[in-house]
Chains A and B, each alone.
Chain A
Amino acid sequence: MTEKRSKAKERSGHPLDDLLREDRIPHIWCPGCGIGTAFSSCLKAIRSSGVEPKNVVMVSGIGCSGRAAGYVNLDSFHTTHGRAIPFATGLKLANPVLHVIVFSGDGDLFAIGGNHLIHAARRNVDMTVICVNNFNYGMTGGQVAATTPKSARTTTTPFGNPETPFSLPHIAYASGATYVARWTILHTREIAKSVEEALLKKGFSFIEVLSPCPVNYGRRNRESSLETLKIYQDKTIIKNGAHPSSVDIDPEKGIILGKFIDVDRPTCKEMYDKICRSE
């Protein structure tokens, strides 16, 4: 393995190559898709956290973001739709030494797997959940999702979305997450810092990363990927410590980013050991 890794390094030389399954690169993500940036920020954080890569595992569900588990050169698992969190919970309970990262999309984590997310947060399972939010179901052709902004066009809302989207940080906070942050893919350093903090923190950590899906969401809403990033540059407001109930995504008034919550609370395993394992 080490030999294979060093050979790979000679061939190209990107500093994150040893965390990648290089034979599977280029990945399938479309040109301008932000998932690759969220993924590379996450790998950068694994590197800079100083955690031994053999103790880091990545689990993802289904969807474009779910492919990440197949590209990372760590122990990883690509689960069935919505089930990344229960799989990750099992990993963590069976081997508490592991740092478990769930890397998946908004549809997988908040719609198909929504119940798993709220309950893992409620029980405060020690894991890091990174949710790439691109406001639609990219892989299946751009259907409306639980995160699609009001009035936005998707294949299933050709006249505009009549529904109100979820605020992901608010749900994570209300369910009991002990670390909650939101960034966009333009904020690579902030994502990496949050992921690093989350990895080293005990408890359920949730990081939302806003990301362009130029091929589906972008195309139907007349936004190229560079235009989306310009919006991220011009319209975002960093408010660390803002209450998660107030963190709107409103391209007119502003998109609120930051580290909103960082508190400590006994984890699922600590409570179990205390209550069920003491004689």
Chain B
Amino acid sequence: MEFWRIPLDVEEIQITRGVVHILEERCKGCGYCIEFCPRQVLAFSSRFNERGYHPPVIKNPDDCVNCHYCEIICPEFAIYSIEISEQDDKRPDPRLHSNPR
């Protein structure tokens, strides 16, 4: 997310963070999770899974906001995200760096 200016209350707003997990062997490479992730966390892999599809890879792991969108749009039950608690989260605030897309 790129801001034209950093909102004044940026420190107070809580954004959840997630870790996304991919069950590669279930994926059929439709690309829905990649295309419609609001934070462009995912990209196509050049590898093949055992059934010959290109599964997604995690391109920007720090940007995942645990919105679960990929989890439900995936027709194959092949991807899901899990919230990480703030204590475990050592990553930079995703709002303060621009998105590399």
Q: Using CB atoms and an 8 Å cutoff, list the residues of chain A in contact with chain B.
A: 12-17, 20, 25-27, 29-37, 39-41, 44, 185-186, 188-189, 192, 225-226, 229
Nearest chain A CB to B78's CB is how many angstroms away?
8
Q: Using CB atoms and an 8 Å cutoff, list the residues of chain B in contact with chain A.
A: 21, 23, 26, 28-32, 35-36, 51, 53, 69, 71-78, 80
Asked if A14 contacts B72 (CB within 8 A), the reply is: no
Asked if A36 contacts B75 (CB within 8 A), the reply is: yes
Asked if A12 contacts B72 (CB within 8 A), the reply is: no
Given A225-B30, A226-B31, answer yes or no on A25-B77 (Cβ-Cβ < 8 Å).
Answer: yes
> Which residues of the partner chain B approach A32 to less than 8 Å between Cβ atoms?
28, 30-32, 75
Asked if B72 contacts A44 (CB within 8 A), the reply is: yes
Asked if B73 contacts A33 (CB within 8 A), the reply is: no
Asked if A20 contacts B77 (CB within 8 A), the reply is: yes
Among the interface residues B32, B51, B74, which one has the most CB atoms of the partner chain A within 10 A? B32
Considering the complex, give the chain A residue whose CB is closest to the CB of B30. A32
> Which residues of the partner chain A approach B80 to less than 8 Å between Cβ atoms?
13-15
Nearest chain A CB to B22's CB is how many angstroms away?
10
> Which residues of the partner chain A approach B32 to less than 8 Å between Cβ atoms?
32, 37, 225-226, 229
| Complex: A12 Cα to B78 Cα, angstroms | 9
* Supplied contacts A14-B71, A40-B74, A186-B73, 17 more A-B pairs, CB within 8 Å: A13-B21, A13-B80, A14-B80, A15-B71, A26-B28, A26-B76, A27-B76, A32-B30, A36-B75, A36-B76, A37-B73, A37-B74, A37-B75, A39-B75, A41-B72, A188-B73, A225-B30
Asked if A226 contacts B35 (CB within 8 A), the reply is: yes
> Which residues of the partner chain A approach B69 to less than 8 Å between Cβ atoms?
188
| Complex: A89 Cα to B35 Cα, angstroms | 40
| Complex: A14 Cα to B76 Cα, angstroms | 10
Considering the complex, give the chain B residue whose CB is closest to the CB of A22. B77
| Complex: A36 Cα to B72 Cα, angstroms | 9
Asked if A229 contacts B36 (CB within 8 A), the reply is: yes
Asked if A34 contacts B77 (CB within 8 A), the reply is: no
> Which residues of the partner chain B approach A31 to less than 8 Å between Cβ atoms?
28-30, 53
| Complex: A49 Cα to B72 Cα, angstroms | 16
| Complex: A185 Cα to B73 Cα, angstroms | 7
Nearest chain A CB to B67's CB is how many angstroms away?
9
Considering the complex, give the chain A residue whose CB is closest to the CB of B71. A15
> Which residues of the partner chain B approach A41 to less than 8 Å between Cβ atoms?
72
Q: Which of B53, B72, B74, B76 is A192 in contact with, Cβ under 8 Å?
A: B72
Considering the complex, give the chain B residue whose CB is closest to the CB of A15. B80
| Complex: A25 Cα to B77 Cα, angstroms | 9
Nearest chain B CB to A256's CB is how many angstroms away?
21
Q: Which of A13, A29, A44, A189 is B75 in contact with, Cβ under 8 Å?
A: A29
> Which residues of the partner chain B approach A13 to less than 8 Å between Cβ atoms?
21, 23, 80
Nearest chain B CB to A10's CB is how many angstroms away?
13
Nearest chain A CB to B10's CB is how many angstroms away?
25
> Which residues of the partner chain B approach A39 to less than 8 Å between Cβ atoms?
75
> Which residues of the partner chain A approach B72 to less than 8 Å between Cβ atoms?
37, 40-41, 44, 188-189, 192
